[in-house]
Amino acid sequence: MALNLFIPPCIHKRPCYLHPPPQGKPLRVEIQGPLESIQKLLPNIPWYPIVDFPQPGGRALASLVHQALYGENDPSQGDPPLRNEYLAWAMNGRRPLDYIDYYGVTFDHLVPADDPNPEVLAISIIEVDNDGGTFANKHLLFSVDPTEYTGKKVLAVPRCCQRKEGTQDQRRINGEVAERDSKIRQADNA
């Protein structure tokens, strides 16, 4: 059974202005996390073999996150456009295996096609089941009780509520999208 994606409210006294993001604001959203957590959200989607961008699960994950942030998709808008994905190959020592254990996808919400540097929101899916919440409690600005999540929901947290600072997020995420676009153009011209 698929678990729900749960994005808790901002913990700051004055909530960060992108947590939650305003409906009408153009925004580029990156969501990433361990594949084992993503599979709890999307239990029926295969992640093997890896195919050309995007993975089928990337589209499904983006739709799920878009819905969690903005409510039901406006049918006239369709699925949010995917702009990039991130694959982390599982490793055997230093040798990469042929499957991934971590995945991220970047999608746009109302971003004009000619805007190379929109504002970004980076969200991390946090695994809390396999380590009793140790990772979550080390990396988040609030404490997590895994029993609230196990078998019920999957935790996802915007950067403002994580310990990691997101000062490089906009440059990094938009740079990666530009790189993806140029790869796609090269493939089209080949």
> For residue 76, what are the contacts with CB-CB under 8 A and spacing of at least 6?
none
Strands 27-34 and 120-126: parallel
Residue 89 CB, nearest distance to Zn ion (Å)? 31
CB half-sphere exposure, 146, CA atoms < 13 A: 13
Q: Tokens for 4?
A: 């729900």
- As given in the structure block, the two tokens for residue 71 are 């409510």
Residue type, 27: L
Per CB under 5 A, the segment of 6-14, 43-51, 120-128, 148-156 that binds Zn ion is 6-14
Which residue number has the CB closest to Zn ion?
10
Binding to Zn ion (CB under 5 A) within 146-175 occurs at: 160-161
Using CB under 5 A, which residues numbered 11 to 30 contact Zn ion? Answer: 16, 19
Stretch binding Zn ion (CB under 5 A), from 10-18, 32-40, 72-80, 144-152 = 10-18
88 is an interface residue for Zn ion by CB under 5 A = no
Site membership for Zn ion, residue 123 (CB under 5 A): no
User: If binding is defined by CB under 5 A, does position 10 make contact with Zn ion?
Assistant: yes
Pairing mode, strands 153-158 and 27-34: unpaired
- Binding residues (CB under 5 A) for Zn ion: these are 10, 16, 19, 160-161
